[in-house]
Chains A and B, each alone.
Chain A
């Protein structure tokens, strides 16, 4: 990265992060304030406004200091980016914890819980839909193996931002089929996530079920994009002309991310207006970012800040899902390190 770009990108990223923390307290339903159940009008009351103002003051003061230090020293010590970002994150986390501590004296008992008695679970057609990414990977691998002789001895497998190849593969089983193995492993791990969302999130109301189905669709979308990206990479040595469509996948990813965020925002707003997440205040830790409740069978619960779900760290299965989700990333990292030696 050029020095000018670094001077622009790093502070912009840190300011974006601060902006995200700035709006975080607003991404909860009215009676939740810093992950504490309060009276609906509390956030606009004098103590509520004072707590919010103090949180934002600490956040922006630390961000300003971290940005200045990073901008001044990045030319000399590139690692200052990590120091600056960590400083900002730690300061924001401390500010959250303090804001929650100051809100707790105003906590109200959470209301009654009402659910519909419906045994139905999961996204309709989910099992069949889930086979699609695996089918795509399998069919691509089959096509490539049938055209083995058309594969050159050396072919590009990675490109820089300008589209210039910067990584090469060779015509061997690992060189050709590694994308299939990696993408299948990622999709299998994501299938585990699909199962956990389908069976271990609340579905007691229509909004709960819509939220769950939205998340299941997002998970399926991720699987399809992973399968598509790796299948495209696997096909390139056989059909080099595919390189002309290199912008299609990033465009699809961008569209997917935008629609997933928009859908998540809409559903979270609806969910948060629908009467609660059935999680006791005392079980939200770390300023309300982490949920720990061994008595709650849910693996995923709706976040008290932001959109989507978060893990219930009190459920031992959550740790298994977490390990499962991290496994492909750790495997790829280990393979990359092993290859570079």
Chain B
């Protein structure tokens, strides 16, 4: 069962948390092309957040090419072509990853634990892509 989790007390804005959670599910193949996500109103109601917060998250995911938004029909998952990563994307990702790894290390995680966590995530992503293993429920 696909589920998402947000923490209103977290420093990350709620709309960004929704984007992160949904993107993780989409990357993992929890939803396939043509699947419908809950409408903005339904998701906002279930999470107890303002409509605009969810609408902004859906809009940004649509900008990334994950969703098609149609009035009264909610959000439909698109067959998103895998874009080729540009050198700028790789550079930006490396910088964010380095910052996150430093934060984890400062919080007491060993380099080996950080590396293992990254390997686990990479395996999950690879196993979850529809091209390889079908959809994960």
Contacts and interface: CB of A to CB of B under 8 A. Distances in A.
Q: How large is the interface on A (under 10, 10 to 19, 20 to 34, 35 or more residues)?
A: 20 to 34
Interface stretch (A42-50, A106-114, A131-139): A106-114
Interface string A113-124: 111111101000
A287 interface: no
A121 B5 contact: no
A297 interface: yes
B108 interface: no
A202 B74 CA distance: 18
A296 B39 CA distance: 15
A115 B48 CA distance: 11
* Residue from the set B9, B25, B39 with the largest chain A CB neighbour count within 10 Å: B9
Interface in B25-53: 25, 36-39, 41-51
A112 B48 contact: no
A278 interface: yes
Nearest to B54: A297
Contacts of A118: 1, 38
B6 A113 contact: yes
A279 B51 CA distance: 15
Interface range, B side: 20 to 34
Interface in A244-297: 277-280, 293, 295-297
Contact of A119 (B6, B10, B38): B38
A117 B47 contact: no
B46 A114 contact: no
Nearest to A114: B5
A83 to B, nearest CB: 40
Interface of chain A, main secondary structure: loop
Contacts of B37: 117, 119
A115 B47 contact: yes
A78 interface: no
Contacts of B50: 295-297
A137 B44 CA distance: 38
B2 A113 contact: no
A241 B112 CA distance: 86
Q: Which secondary structure dominates chain B's binding surface?
A: mixed
B83 interface: no
Contacts of A293: 48
A204 B50 CA distance: 16
Contacts of B42: 119, 121, 203
B46 A115 contact: yes
B63 interface: no
A304 interface: no
Given A109-B9, A110-B9, A297-B41, A117 B4 contact: yes
B2 A116 contact: yes
Nearest to B39: A119
A265 B1 CA distance: 28
Contact of B46 (A112, A204, A280): A204
Contacts of B2: 116-117
B18 to A, nearest CB: 11
Given A119-B39, A200-B45, A297 B4 contact: no
B8 interface: yes
B134 to A, nearest CB: 18
A212 to B, nearest CB: 11
Contacts of B43: 117
A298 interface: yes
9 contacts: A110-B8, A113-B5, A115-B47, A117-B4, A117-B38, A118-B38, A278-B48, A293-B48, A295-B50
Interface of A: 109-119, 121, 200-204, 208, 277-280, 293, 295-298
